[in-house]
């Protein structure tokens, strides 16, 4: 059923409600920018940016005595025109602060996203002549630090799946639960590791999205577009086993459409799969902090090593920008270093 399914309709309605709730507290000029972002991008980005801009306006209230008794939505536009790059740098310092409750603990990517939202708003307001001064133009830019990409090699992948098959978990209680959910958990994790789909795309799958004749799944990408992906014989086998032997026990009604169901007989949530990955990873690869996204990285890296085709990897993973693939999945630099070690230069 794809994006026309009841699940995606309800999900979209929930996002719209969340967006409207947040923007109701923001100034009208900020809402104009966010509405423009929502039209040109996707509602997820608009929601994140709305949260980020809320931080900025809270900063203005906390640091400017004049705004002490002013509601955020009433902060005047001309105040933004009066800010300088020093004020924006102070805001970046504010984001790095760690208070007792970690309210403003925002580092690395989080700060970059906050600043992206703020720079975008200033740019929009200046282009449309609401403002004459872009205070973000001269603000400092954080030095980007490249972190090692966490992923599993082939041996670790097999060990990871073996933990489920053997129910080899620390406590007897966990092992007993694992035995009851083994086919479902194996199907989910094998699907993630063999197709590279996002966990959000996985939980949105319905029965009608699986075609065992063509060995395909129909998914709804992050931006709302539908895509057809092919899967191999191993995925075919584990999906069929789960659907025939274990899924019926999770079904509350005969007409249940969700592919992956929880013990509560409801569609599995993203958080549930994240916790599942962490549970098995603690046993299989205790030295690596795994998440469903790291499994996506594992697949992307393996696919690149086998094909050497970064455009193919970008297409399968649903990346619109090939640089994202190169940065997060392909492990090109590591492969180049290995090649260099095999060369005899003298």
Of residues 55, 91, 242, 329, which has the active-site annotation?
329
Q: Which residues pair with 228 in a beta bridge?
A: 218
User: CA torsion, points 31, 32, 38, 39, in degrees to nearest 10?
Assistant: 160
Q: DSSP character for 242?
A: I
Of residues 105, 222, 327, 336, which has the active-site annotation?
222
> How far is it, in rounded angstroms, from Cα 242 to Cα 259?
10
> How far is it, in rounded angstroms, from Cα 89 to Cα 110?
15
> How far is it, in rounded angstroms, from Cα 16 to Cα 38?
10
Q: Which residues pair with 226 in a beta bridge?
A: 220
Radius of gyration of the chain (CA): 24
Active site residue 129: no
Of residues 38, 198, 247, 279, which has the active-site annotation?
198
> How far is it, in rounded angstroms, from Cα 248 to Cα 141?
54
Which of 216, 211, 210 has its CA nearest to residue 228?
216
Of residues 114, 247, 279, 319, which has the active-site annotation?
319
Active site residue 236: no
Which of 28, 24, 20 has its CA nearest to residue 46?
20
> How far is it, in rounded angstroms, from Cα 69 to Cα 58?
12
> The tokens of 131 are what?
């403002």
> The tokens of 302 are what?
């393996």
Spatial neighbors of 16 by CB under 8 A, at least 6 apart, are: 43
Active site residue 319: yes
Active site residue 55: no
Active site residue 198: yes
> The tokens of 54 are what?
């809320």
Of residues 55, 247, 296, 299, which has the active-site annotation?
296
Of residues 3, 32, 123, 293, which has the active-site annotation?
293
> The tokens of 28 are what?
């009208």
Reduced to 3 states (helix: H, G, I; strand: E, B; else coil), residue 227 is: strand
Residue showing tokens 């998914």: 219
Cβ atoms within 10 Å of 126's Cβ, excluding its own: 18
Q: Are 279 and 292 in contact (CB under 8 A)?
A: no
Cβ atoms within 10 Å of 56's Cβ, excluding its own: 22
Catalytic residues: 198, 222, 293, 296, 319, 329
């Amino acid at each position: 059923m794809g994006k026309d399914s009841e699940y995606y309709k309800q999900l979209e309605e929930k996002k719209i409600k969340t967006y409207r709730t947040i923007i109701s507290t923001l100034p009208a000029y900020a809402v104009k920018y966010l509405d423009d972002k929502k039209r040109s991008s996707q509602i997820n980005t608009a929601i994140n940016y709305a949260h980020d801009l809320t931080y900025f306006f809270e900063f203005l209230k906390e640091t400017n005595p004049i705004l002490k008794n002013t509601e955020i939505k009433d902060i005047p536009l001309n105040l933004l025109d009066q800010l300088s790059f020093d004020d924006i740098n102070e805001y970046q310092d504010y984001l790095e602060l760690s208070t007792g409750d970690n309210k403003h603990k925002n580092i690395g990517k989080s700060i970059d996203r906050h600043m992206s939202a703020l720079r975008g708003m200033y740019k929009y307001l200046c282009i449309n002549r609401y403002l004459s001064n872009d205070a973000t133009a001269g603000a400092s830019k954080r030095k980007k630090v490249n972190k090692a990409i966490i992923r599993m090699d082939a041996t670790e992948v097999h060990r990871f799946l073996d933990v489920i098959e053997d129910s080899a978990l620390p406590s007897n209680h966990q092992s007993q639960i694992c035995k009851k959910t083994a086919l479902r958990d194996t199907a989910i994790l094998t699907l993630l590791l063999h197709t590279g789909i996002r966990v959000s795309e996985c939980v949105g799958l319905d029965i009608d999205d699986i075609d065992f004749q063509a060995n395909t799944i129909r998914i709804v990408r992050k931006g709302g577009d539908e895509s057809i992906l092919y899967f191999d014989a191993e995925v075919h086998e584990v999906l069929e086993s789960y659907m025939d032997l274990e899924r019926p026990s999770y079904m509350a009604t005969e007409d249940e459409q969700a592919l992956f169901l929880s013990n509560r007989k409801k569609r599995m949530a993203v958080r549930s799969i994240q916790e599942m990955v962490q549970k098995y990873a603690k046993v299989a690869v205790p030295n690596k902090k795994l998440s469903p996204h790291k499994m996506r990285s594992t697949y992307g890296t393996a696919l690149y090593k086998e094909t050497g085709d970064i455009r193919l990897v970008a297409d399968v993973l649903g990346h619109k920008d090939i640089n994202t693939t190169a940065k997060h999945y392909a492990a090109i630099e590591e492969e180049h270093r290995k090649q260099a070690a095999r060369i005899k230069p003298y």
